[in-house]
Amino acid sequence: MDEAAIFMRHLLAGSGALGPAEWAALFGHFLMLSLLAVGGAITTAPDMQRFIVGERQWLTEAQFSASVALAQAAPGPNVLFVAVVGFNVGGLSGVLATMVGTLLPSTLLTLRASRWNARHAQAWPVRALHAGLAPVTIGLLLATGWILFEPLAADWRSGVLVAGTIALMLRTKLSALWPIGGGAIAGALGWIG
């Protein structure tokens, strides 16, 4: 098989060909996670990591974290990390399975819920639901941060960089791009990593 054919095979099917049951499991898991994505798809990253890395072993922890980091560094919607993870699991077919699984239920539910919410916005159960979802979102974001930091936790320099970034962001109005750039430079120079 020539190099172009190998590249196209990898592009379409990923590095390891998944069987029909595995494709269904990948699609079904992302379909389920879509309904749990309170605060955005990034809040479901810990369970994606558990499923893809821990349970199915389709990616390593480092590959998963790199997939999320790459997508988050790129301009565009926050949900792009789902496509990168899907691509790394199964090429373009993986992108299709993960993105449709993630976007279909949440889109349909959002359309229905926004219409209902517009009619019942002042009802006390609706106001209570809105107030109760804020701490859930914060907890899910903290869990996501922990999962993404875990592969770097063995290197004390990474911990110092993360703590410094958090302190800088809490105490100043500095753009988040500066600490991101600093982390990129530190990684490029081999100081962390």
Average pLDDT over residues 20-48: 91
* pLDDT for 181: 84
pLDDT in tens, 174-191: 887 888 788 788 888 887
CB atoms within 10 A of CB 158: 19
Average pLDDT over residues 24-39: 90
All residues at 6 or more sequence positions from 146 whose CB lies less than 8 Å from its CB, including other chains: 46
Q: How many CA atoms lie within 13 A of 61 on its CB side?
A: 11
pLDDT in tens, 137-157: 888 888 887 887 777 777 777
pTM (2 d.p.): 0.60
Distance CA 78, CA 83 (A): 10
Domain range annotation of the chain:
3-123
Contact 167, 174 (CB under 8 A): no
Contact 151, 65 (CB under 8 A): yes
Cα dihedral 129, 141, 40, 45, rounded to 10, equals: -130
Residue 174: both structure tokens together:
């500095």
